[in-house]
Amino acid sequence: MGWRFVLKAVDPPGPTGAANGRINARFFRSDVFTFLSNLTQVYGDIVRFDIGHTACVLVNGASAVDRLLHTCEPFLHKPDFVSASNRGHWGDGLTTLEGADWQDRRRLLRPQFRPREITPRLDIVAECTADMIRNWRAEPPVDLMTDIRLLTARIAARTVMDVDIEGWGNPDGCTSLLPYDEIFGEDFTASEPNDADGILRMERPRAPRDLPVITDLIKRRLDSDCDGRDVLSVLIRTCRAAGVPPDYDMITGEIVQMLYAGHLTMPTSLGALWSCLAQDAQTEQQIAEEADRLEVGTAPPALPELGRSLALAALKEALRMHPPAPLLYRIAAQAFELEGFAVTAGHHVWVSPRLLHRDPRYFEDPDQFQPARFEFGRPQNVPRSVYLPFGAGPRTCIAMHQAFNQMTLIILMVAQHFELRSSAGSLAHVTLIARGGSP
């Protein structure tokens, strides 16, 4: 028998222990990304540190992140505060399930996000966006983010349940209107139960505790033939076809998560793009010309045209600079080895898209807004799992292609009607100036 060398994994380097935990918490609170960036400068791409009393590992760098999010995903699960923020008052959905339950659900839902399903939903996006633009031309937006959140909510209501929101008409075949409160929701902060220092928190909109109209609609749909193309109807039909009787709790948990999944991410992404464009008049003008060329006022362009558009390249670049999910959180469900380092069961494991997206090893002039980086769809010569505004690996956002296409259409339609002006680099200072003509 020959010699076998067994390399023992060692603990990652980094500032641990009670005193460091207190100091780290202070830096974390004051500027989280400077803090994380400093950790990698001092200790390398895999760093073990404490935040207050919470044991954390930061995983950075192309190969370690790729291995973590692709190969090691079975050893990880989502922390409670992340699940609670997604679940809110309601049950589990794809974002909060783990293990075999998650796998089965992902398989069940994946067909909902194929191009064949995404394409007809673009008509809904075009219709809702045209309504918003018509209102803006009559009265410019006072709070851009609120209007975009309402647009996101309306698109979700129409595509997920085939219903509209009170005050927005009653499309054919739709017998109910969702009250504004049920679909706009409430802002929610979830905290990590074991984090005595109250540092690990997730803030996002969620569904309120009372959803009488939404739940009634789900019950009625469960009692019907369900021949619609909306996510709810297709989900019920898919369950029946697979011989799995659709269960009210399962359907409600999933549908409520779907209704709310875009409420923070879509407005934040569009806000990031408009802030960048307000500082780049040339790209803004080119996108307006592209909108005219693609005749977005008449009908949504086909998916390949949206896919090749400058508007999408600019959006991807804005999401590189300002990813809406700047930190991805996991907990090690069991001990595992990563690039020679030991990750201990129970430790929080973090990946930061924000750090990776601004890393000069992968992006030249990382602080410059350069849509040309995405001229060919993907950034050139950048390893997999470095650009990850929608996550990476098996738990990537299931709605990524749909969200990219919907946002690109909104950007083009808005560009056709409005110019952006900004006195500073933030969305709070962006103003929309109407171009000539009517919507």
- The site for ligand HEM (CB under 6 A) is made up of 94-95, 106, 258, 261-262, 265-266, 269, 324-325, 328, 389-391, 395, 397-399, 403
For the bound state, the minimum distance from the C-beta of residue 19 to ligand HEM, rounded and expressed in Å, comes to 31
Could you tell me which residues are beta bridge partners of residue 47? Answer: 58
The β-bridge relationship of strands 54-59 and 46-51 is antiparallel
For the bound state, the minimum distance from the C-beta of residue 312 to ligand HEM, rounded and expressed in Å, comes to 12
For ligand HEM, the closer of residues 21 and 235 by Cβ is 235
For ligand HEM, the closer of residues 205 and 262 by Cβ is 262
Length of the chain: 439
For ligand HEM, the closer of residues 253 and 391 by Cβ is 391
For the bound state, the minimum distance from the C-beta of residue 265 to ligand HEM, rounded and expressed in Å, comes to 3
For the bound state, the minimum distance from the C-beta of residue 82 to ligand HEM, rounded and expressed in Å, comes to 7
Q: What is the DSSP string of 119-188?
A: HHHHHHHHHHHHHHHHHHHHS--SSHHHHHHHHHHHHHIIIIIS-EETTS---TT---EE-HHHHH-EEE
For ligand HEM, the closer of residues 21 and 324 by Cβ is 324
Q: Give the pair of three-digit tokens for residue 305.
A: 């045209």
CA angle 176, 115, 299 (to 5 degrees): 70
For the bound state, the minimum distance from the C-beta of residue 30 to ligand HEM, rounded and expressed in Å, comes to 25
Tell me if residue 316 falls in helix, strand or coil: helix
The β-bridge relationship of strands 76-77 and 328-332 is antiparallel
Neighbours of 423 (CB within 10 A): 10
For ligand HEM, the closer of residues 21 and 36 by Cβ is 36
For ligand HEM, the closer of residues 205 and 391 by Cβ is 391
For ligand HEM, the closer of residues 204 and 417 by Cβ is 204
For the bound state, the minimum distance from the C-beta of residue 298 to ligand HEM, rounded and expressed in Å, comes to 25
Q: What is the DSSP string of 193-230?
A: TT-TT---EEEEEE--S--HHHHHHHHHHHTS----SS
- How many whole angstroms separate alpha carbon 40 and alpha carbon 18? 20
Cα 318 versus chain centre, distance: 14
For ligand HEM, the closer of residues 226 and 319 by Cβ is 319
For the bound state, the minimum distance from the C-beta of residue 275 to ligand HEM, rounded and expressed in Å, comes to 15
Contact present, 81 and 192 (Cβ < 8 Å) = yes
